[in-house]
Amino acid sequence: MEKSLTFKEANITYYIYGSNKKDSLVLLHGFLENSSMWKTIIETLSNSHQIISIDLLGHGKTDCLGYIHTMEDMADVVFEVLKSESIIKTTFIGHSMGGYVALAFAEKYKEYIIGLCLLNSTSKADSEERKKVRNRAVLMAKTNYKPLVSMSISNLFSSETNSFFKEEIKLCKTEALKTSVQGYIACTEGMKLRKNREHVLTSFKGKKLLITGKKDPVINFQSILSETKKTNTPLEIVPNGHMSHIEDTEQVLKILINFLSL
């Protein structure tokens, strides 16, 4: 069911699946994605959970809020959705940027979150090199947006799977272009500004999990290994790239089902 609310004059679109309110699950998509990325996972998990999938600021059918969308801004959006749906305890699964938002939520509204899964994501802040890459992307977005989006999506898949998932990549590019230039820039600036939240992951009292692709071109594998030890977070490794929900669907589903049953 598609629903919406207004937050600071911005229309926020979200979707509700399943009816088991005792076990609710919030799905937060990544950058240049929207709620449609969770289709396969929703088909499986909505049998046992009520699922709330939110189009984050500037993505899907949700409006932009301004020229910088901080992770805290998006955490506030998520809180408004949960408040609207009278949800007071829930589990989060966040893909990439969605993981950054989930961590911001866990820091600001920790009493609402009982489980946290970061899928192809990290609690670390951007490195200086990563910030430079984002700065170059912002400049390109202003003048050459479609080629930038096309290249960005292709680069999320491992080199081994890029040719195998041609139709899926084409669909991902179509969905990505639903993100406006303003949405692209605002979220890029927000990700660049986000702070290190390893302390949030370390101190989190609920069940927690990191899922990473061994060949993820965005999230450094060795850095994730270090992060899991530092934050005392269980780690599941799947074989391929940044789009594990596509590249390693069956394995990711099994991992999530096991995580949710803990």
pTM, two decimal places: 0.97
Residue with tokens 């084409």: 170
Query: What is the residue-averaged pLDDT of the chain?
Result: 96
Say which amino acid occupies 149.
V
Q: Bridge-partner residues for 178, per DSSP?
A: none
Give per-residue pLDDT as tens, 29-63: 999 999 999 999 999 999 999 999 999 999 999 99
Question: In the chain, count of helices (H) and strands (E)?
Answer: 11, 8
Taking residue 166's Cβ as centre, other Cβ atoms within 10 Å add up to 9
List, in order of start, the domains of the chain with CATH numbers. Answer: 2-261 (3.40.50.1820)
